[in-house]
Amino acid sequence: MTDYGVQEAASRVDSPFIVGELPSVFKFSVPHRSVASASKRLIDIVGAIAGLMILAMIFLPIAIAICIESPGSVLYKQRRYGLQGRSFTLLKFRSMVKDADHLKALVHNEAEGLIFKNEQDPRITRIGRLLRRTSLDEVPQFWNVLVGEMSLVGTRPPTHDEVIHYTDRHWQRLNVKPGLTGLWQVSGRSNIKDFEEIVNLDLQYQANWTPKYDLQIILKTFVVLLTKPGAC
């Protein structure tokens, strides 16, 4: 495999790139060395298969609960941006009312910077709040991990509204694959509402990454889920 660790020392260059529907020119460094790691990919595949087995067991009861409270699709699909700005369709159990995206402008943003966050978002359904509190809404993303669009551990995949405002520094967080969990999540995401602080954690993860570090974050994620519902 290519030694990305050596290439990371190379200077950044301008290169044409299409990010979803965003034709532009961005400055990218080469992918982080974790992208080429066979150990990380093995962990992702094993974890994704285990996660999809869980999904198979819980899908029907969750689907019924979602549809009873709020008619519409069981799964919520959204364009997100991953490794070096490549777009993909992220999967989640729908936790909001139908057509919630069209109502977003009516909801106050409590976060700072390029993320959107409102703990009392009125678009969230009752079953949706339970799914979010237990992080069950994110279980379908194990499919994104299995096909290689995401990793078990990485950065939070940004939306279209975020990336159109990115600076060079922000783009650095996408030198790794987006993750189901990450340093931000296990550091208490409910209390972190400053986007720049999230970027700092993402870059800290890249600087300290090893396969062992991923396993530590995965273990800490389980601890947080069991002791602090809603924190991940």
More confident residue, 78 or 113: 78
pLDDT surpassing 70 at residue 201: yes
What pLDDT does residue 117 have?
Answer: 66
Sign of CA dihedral 232, 149, 16, 172: positive
Q: Is the pLDDT of residue 12 over 60?
A: no
d(CA 200, CA 203) in angstroms, rounded, equals: 5
Identify whether the C-beta of residue 119 lies closer than 8 Å to the C-beta of residue 110: yes
- Is the pLDDT score of 199 beyond 50? yes
The pair of structure tokens assigned to 51 is 């996660």
pLDDT tens for 16-35 read 344 444 434 444 568 899 99
In this prediction, residue 224 carries a pLDDT of 87
b/e map 36-70, b = 16+ CB within 10 Å: bbeebbebbeebbeebbeebeeebeebeebbeeeb
pLDDT per residue as tens digits for the range 140-174: 999 999 999 999 999 999 988 888 888 888 889 99
Question: What pairs with residue 78 in β-bridges?
Answer: 90
pLDDT of residue 20: 45
- 78-82: which pairs have CB atoms within 8 A and are 24 or more residues apart? 78/159, 79/20, 79/159, 79/160, 80/157, 80/158, 80/159, 80/178, 81/19, 81/20, 81/157, 81/158, 81/159, 81/160, 81/163, 81/174, 81/178, 82/149, 82/150, 82/157, 82/174, 82/177, 82/178
Percent of the chain with pLDDT over 70: 75
Is pLDDT above 70 for 13?
Answer: no
pLDDT at 59 over 70: yes
**What φ, ψ does residue 223 adopt, rounded to 5°?**
-65, -45
**What's the chain's average pLDDT?**
82
Return the domain boundaries, the chain.
30-227
